[in-house]
Structure 1
């Protein structure tokens, strides 16, 4: 065990964690609250694994997707994976969807950074198709700037992809792409959605992908991707930062009303 992880585990018994996300998720998404974020990815991973192992017996039939976060004054100030504003608000809004062992640690909502969400989702969607016939195009785009990524997205035709890569579950990836598209498009319109049910309610055409229905064509998913691209192109004209950044580095932790 890494020394940092061992020190943190010993300091936090039992660990304080909170479940979040869709009420009918196949996995268990949860966040461990820690006092200070480790400096390196290796340390963060070691701590996350160690804390996860300490509670696996409480989730015998589910795979744990764990994250780390620092919480101060009722809101997150730093996270291991994802963006601070999205995770903060997701924890708040989906708290009651799960059986929790502690009171809601989040008492303050953060103003969402919509441009950051679009930047991150752009990278995520391209990464999902990086093992397909578009891999050369996507690899170049992921190493390039935002305009190159937009051009790569414009060249994607999800309806023609047969497999997302050896060992990959097509339905899982399709579900994840639909989830990202639904979240982004809704957020652009001022609506925060954090569960499959919420996204499916607002975007009925995405329901079949979100719930991993078999043998469905991807026409509706492609349609939403094209709409996402148009929104991204318009937003990019006024973006001050065209590369991903940490929420806390560019925002003043303004509280949402």
Structure 2
């Protein structure tokens, strides 16, 4: 099967290969989306033998995304646009129009993701209940997390990968709140030097700085929550006319 147009995005020195396949129509079920992303990845794995491919699917119209498989439409759209030059590409940049970022949606999604990264730690019961609850329950759960008390992120998890992912979400969300869009770990490390050691998976690091930025994230999240029109994750509403 000849794969459709694809585009690599993200950090120029990423250990994995994040790419998007542009398709005409998005499958309806999660299983169908997963199956298609795997099927489309197969013909190109030989071109990137040293990389683990993280494939996504997207529908594009008039130079910007209108539907995505994983993530939010605005974040993936702008990440594709801004990080195109970071990689050797086989196709022209498929994104010619950036989207207005939905900051509340980013905080809602980052909150769920951070809790999920911690869901197999000693806080698993607290987090399991929080993930089923409303935003206030999620915030309260985050407030009870002390990263210094975490020895493992799960038997099947790489601790350094989990720590890196948490740091990445914290840096992205807080910078977006401050009016800056950051899409690579190099950009986040430059903006938040305290997070650099976590972003680059340094061994034997303490959690002091990460805990402080988690605390900062919680403060911003709680303050934003008072003005949020929606307090559960929702589909990005494009302000651009298709």
Could you tell me which runs of 5 or more consecutive residues in structure 2 were left unpaired when the two chains were aligned.
Answer: none
Is residue 41 of structure 1 aligned with residue 30 of structure 2? yes
1:25 pairs with 10, 14, 23, which one?
Answer: 14
2:44 corresponds in structure 1 to 55
Corresponding residue to 1:196 among 178, 185, 202? 185
Query: Which of 195, 198, 207 does residue 196 from structure 2 map onto?
Result: 207
Q: C-alpha separation between the residues in 2 aligned to 1:194 and 1:130?
A: 25
1:149 to 123, 135, 138: 138
User: Structure 2 residue aligned with 1:72, among 42, 55, 61?
Assistant: 61
Structure 1 runs (4+) greater than 6 angstroms displaced: none
CA distance in 2, matches of 1:33, 1:14: 9
Does the 8 Å contact 1:125/1:177 carry over to 2? yes
Contact 1:129 1:135 in 2 (8 A): yes
TM-score by length of 2: 0.98
Q: Displacement, 1:192? A: 0.3
Select the residue among 215, 229, 241 that pairs with 1:226.
215
Contact 1:111 1:254 in 2 (8 A): no
Number of the residue aligned with 2:85: 96
RMSD: 1.1
Matches within 5 A, 1:126-137: 126-137=115-126
Aligned partner (choices 97, 100, 104) of residue 111 of structure 1 = 100
Cα distance per residue 1:27-73 (max 9 Å; x no partner): 10000000000011111111101001111111111000000000000
3-state SS in 1 of match to 2:89 = coil
Figure out how many residues of one structure are paired with residues of the other and give that number.
242
Aligned counterparts of 2:34 and 2:202: Cα–Cα separation in 1: 33
Residues 234-253 of structure 1: CA distance to partner in whole angstroms, max 9, x if unpaired? 000000000001113xx423
Say which SS state the counterpart of residue 139 (structure 2) adopts.
helix
The alpha-carbon deviation at position 254 of structure 1 amounts to: 6.8
Contact 2:100 2:239 in 1 (8 A): no
